[in-house]
Amino acid sequence: MAEQPKLLGTLPSPFVHRVIWALKLKAIPYEFIEQDLTNKSPLLLKYNPVHKKVPVFLHGDKPVCESMIIVEYIDEVWPQNPLLPKDPYERAQARFWVKFAEDKGTAVYRMFSSKGEELEKTKKETLEMLQTAEEHGIGEKKFFGGESIGIADIAFGPVVYGLEIIEEAIGEGAVFEAHRFPRLHAWIKNFKQVPVIKENLAERDWMVTLFKNRREALAGSA
């Protein structure tokens, strides 16, 4: 493949970041094509006709959609710095936590777009999600992947980093409290220190401002 793969995305999409991290962890050169989601490009509509969402990964003329499916695809095509363990049981465990992050992590984004009673409800859901990951997910490991990050870390990373930003943007008290979730707090600190992650994290203050403005705009039109 002489041509570089392309990543259709928007910053600061948490889903797009998962793919960026996978590509950077494996030192795969790629072209980023910024999308305007208020005015979807023909490229996006052509290559993700089912969901019309980012990220879309274009390898040659072949589109791969859904962030964690893209991550697994990347891991299979470029096996250096593997993101999945070799052992089938360990792989099943990693996939379990990826699915958990996908299914339950939505509470964080729903928290962002809710207020009043709905906000209380989504806060509670977010807390339950964190509690489960704290109790059953991370254990005593440094990362979900063990000594180095793997697909479950990549799946959870934007959920938790996004939560830190969103709870600040909402400004109605902390959800992700260190004393309640000591393991997860240690984990996210370590995660953000991984050089590739550190260099490819959307800047926090910028994100908080962006989300504050977005939330205001949402509330304004509600």
Contacts with a second copy, residue ranges (CB under 8 A): 49-50, 59, 62, 64-66, 69-70, 72-73, 76-77, 88-89, 91-92, 95-96, 99-100, 132, 136
- Give the C-alpha separation, 202 to 144, whole Å: 22
By C-beta, is 77 or 218 nearer to a second copy?
A: 77
Which residue, 70 or 201, is less far from a second copy as judged by CB? 70
Q: Which helix (H) or strand (E) holds 100?
A: helix 88-104
Task: Tell me the closest approach of the beta carbon of residue 18 to a second copy, in angstroms.
Answer: 14
CA 94 → CA 5, 142, 152, 213, distances in Å?
A: 26, 14, 6, 35
- Strands of the sheet containing 56-59, edge to edge, are 31-34, 6-9, 56-59, 62-65
Among residues 12 and 158, whose Cβ is nearest to a second copy? 158
Q: Closest approach of Cβ 205 to a second copy, in Å?
A: 34
- Taking the CB of residue 45, how many other CB atoms lie within 10 A of it? 10
| CB-nearer residue toward a second copy: 56 or 169 | 56
For residues 91 and 83, give the distance between their C-alpha atoms in angstroms, rounded to a whole number.
10
Residue 218 beta carbon to a second copy: minimum distance, rounded to whole angstroms: 23
Least Å from the CB of residue 183 to a second copy: 15
- Report the nearest approach of a second copy to the CB of residue 75 (Å): 9
Residues 99, 156: Cα–Cα separation, whole Å: 10
Cβ closer to a second copy: 76 or 203? 76
DSSP one-letter code for 166: H
